[in-house]
Amino acid sequence: MEVYQFIAPALSIYYIYRIVLELREKKKFIFTNFLWLAFWAVIAVLGIVPHELSTQLASLLGIKSNINAIIFISLAFVIVLAFYLSAKIETMDRKITELVRQLALDESKIRELERKRINKLKKKEESKLINKI
């Protein structure tokens, strides 16, 4: 057995454990966690039986070389992840824009109310001064 056949499953188990903890604490979205769980499970299996799994994947996908199949699947994973992350970023950007707009409107309303209150106080003070005279 090669060194990577010990390291890859050990790393995978560590990250799977962390993902399960995050699932319990609900720190991330469920889809993201399952995506990473699948990724680390594949890494663990590839670490244990690299040739058998990669050869089966290559024949399933119709690719001649098992290395090319692994590279193709990895690239597909990265593209899917990039698409998912860009969609999340766009959603967050839209939400932040809406929040900033609402905050600006609320702040404007607060300033207007404070101006009105200050003007009322000034008028009361002026009327008190006039009444004293």
Please, which pLDDT band fits residue 2 given cuts at 50, 70 and 90? Answer: confident
The torsion of the CA quartet 88, 89, 95, 96, rounded to 10 degrees, works out to: 150
Residue type, 132: K
Judged on CB neighbours under 10 Å (0-12, 13-18, 19+), 36 is middle
Alpha-carbon dihedral sign for residues 86, 92, 97, 100: negative
User: What's the pLDDT at 13?
Assistant: 94
pLDDT digits (tens, 9 = 90+) for 52-98: 888 888 899 899 888 888 899 889 988 988 998 899 899 999 999 99
CA 34 – CA 65 distance, rounded (Å): 28
User: What's the pLDDT at 66?
Assistant: 87
Residue type, 45: V
Please, which pLDDT band fits residue 133 given cuts at 50, 70 and 90? Answer: low
Q: Residue 45's Cα: distance from chain center in Å?
A: 26
Q: Residue 39's Cα: distance from chain center in Å?
A: 16
CB-CB contact of 54 with 66 (8 Å): yes
Residue range 14-23: mean pLDDT, rounded: 90
pLDDT digits (tens, 9 = 90+) for 87-128: 989 999 999 999 999 999 999 999 999 999 999 888 888 787
Phi then psi for 27, rounded to 5 degrees? -80, -25
Instruction: Confirm whether pTM is higher than 0.85.
Output: no
